[in-house]
Structure 1
Amino acid sequence: MSYTGNVTQGGPPDVRELTDVTITKIEVGDFGNNAYLLRCRETGDGLLIDAAAEADRLIELIGDTPISKIVTTHRHQDHWMALEEVAKATGAQTIAHPLDAPHLPVPVTQTVEHGDRIALGVVSLEVIHLRGHTPGSITLLYDGGGPNKHLFTGDSLFPGGVGNTQKDPARFEQLYTDVVERLFDRFPDETWVYPGHGKDTTLGAERPALPEWKARGW
């Protein structure tokens, strides 16, 4: 079956097989959080994005093939409630932006800034800093070449709008500007978006609504 990105609490994961990377999406916890397990197809190296909740399910998902890294997209608790347990079970490095790292429940092994790269076997993920939802929110880009681009946006971009900025005009303006300049202005419509909650989308599906988002201020 083809990948849809539609997962449910307690339901099975959805798996996307790309040329160099496998992406497995699962919903965990009571807040509908998405966690993503990425594996390099050549080496088997694994990376988990957001150990959000239900450590037992995430550890089962990882299985017997080790992962080397766990990336936390931002400081909010619903995205790291299983981090300590999964990190202990796997021995994986923990990675976050330095502005959000002090708010996580474990010491961060590696901090990353805008433009840094995170190795995943023979490929790598680019770090894109999107300020506004939290000071240190990051998106990860896997660029498979041409239009084959994949963005893991945490809570900075969803179908229908940017992340919650608590009705703070300055934070909204910052997040909206970063999302436009660092995502929509840079990547093509085919670019796939994997958010921290809910269904996937593409930049092309969301692009026509950008003026509406800016006008409404959220």
Structure 2
Amino acid sequence: MAGAPRIEHLVTSGTFSLDGGTWDVDNNVWIIGDDDEVVVVDAAHDSDAVLAAVGDRRLSAIVCTHAHDDHVRAAPDVALATGAPILLHPDDQVLWKMTHPGRRPDGPLADGDVLTVAGIGLRVLHTPGHAPGAVCLYAPDLGALFSGDTLFAGGPGATGRSYSDFGTIIGSIGDRLLTLPGATVVHTGHGGTTTVEAEAPHLEEWVARGW
């Protein structure tokens, strides 16, 4: 028996670099699946830790919510060890090439795509703003959203660096995320989880302004 589909959580540590600066960061790595098959969301920093968490299960995909270096640094090594494809929205190729200039992702993510793992669907939502190719994954069967750096507990992801835009991320959150059921648990790229209904009050004001 493969067991019920579930969400597993790993935290890895390293650095994030862009626009000439480097910062120490802790990243959330999310593993979705059952005892036989999983998907990894954001193979961050430490390939050995990610591979240990996957164990002997089949890794069907390495999904990149966006291509900032802290979220994708370990992806090629995990792919090499498992044969799993790396999936990334094409609009983030410019960021991907900064970290992995000699290695292309194996496949594209597009808005509306549904990835299937352990019998459940993960719907791709294109949510640009933090990065042009940023995506979230919505798993209605699990009541869960994997938001990358688009939405955190307390507000939207940062937009003060290259290839980001505040108005765009607010539009993405309003159009794509605040329309989800309020009880949806938001599993973020950094820090703690939250829910759609917890974040809605302080985001709806920005949405209403038409940023």
TM-score normalised according to structure 1 size: 0.81
What are the superposed Cα offsets for residues 54-102 of structure 1, whole Å, 9 maximum, x if unpaired?
Answer: 1111111111112110001101001011111111111101101011145
What are the superposed Cα offsets for residues 127-183 of structure 1, whole Å, 9 maximum, x if unpaired?
Answer: 000111110000001111xxx521100000001111111189x92111101101111
| Structure 1 position 120, deviation (Å) | 1.2
User: Unaligned 5+ residue runs, structure 2?
Assistant: 15-24
| Alignment pair present for 1:161 and 2:155 | yes
What are the superposed Cα offsets for residues 11-38 of structure 1, whole Å, 9 maximum, x if unpaired?
Answer: xxxxxxxx94211011101311000111
What are the superposed Cα offsets for residues 188-209 of structure 1, whole Å, 9 maximum, x if unpaired?
Answer: 2101000100000001111121
| Structure 1 position 213, deviation (Å) | 5.2
Contact 2:185–2:196, Cα closer than 8 Å, also in 1: yes
* Structure 1 ranges of 4+ moved more than 3 A: 211-218
Change (3 A) 1:71 1:101: farther
| Alignment pair present for 1:94 and 2:80 | no
Change (3 A) 1:83 1:167: closer
1:126 matched to which residue of 2?
123
C-alpha distance in 1 between matches for 2:77 and 2:206: 38
SS of the residue aligned with 1:198? coil
1:29 matched to which residue of 2?
13
Alignment of 1:10-21 (within 5 A): 20-21=4-5
What are the superposed Cα offsets for residues 28-53 of structure 1, whole Å, 9 maximum, x if unpaired?
Answer: 01311000111146xx2210000011
C-alpha distance in 2 between matches for 1:109 and 1:167: 27
| Structure 1 position 121, deviation (Å) | 3.4
2:198 matched to which residue of 1?
205
**Counterpart of 2:150 in structure 1: which amino acid?**
S
C-alpha distance in 2 between matches for 1:95 and 1:101: 11
SS of the residue aligned with 2:166? helix
1:11 matched to which residue of 2?
none
Tell me which of 135, 148, 161 is aligned to 1:138: 135
2:174 matched to which residue of 1?
180
| Structure 1 position 216, deviation (Å) | 11
CA RMSD of aligned residues (A): 2.4
| Structure 1 position 108, deviation (Å) | 1.5
TM-score normalised according to structure 2 size: 0.84
Change (3 A) 1:216 1:177: closer
| Structure 1 position 103, deviation (Å) | 3.6
Tell me which of 58, 63, 68 is aligned to 1:76: 68
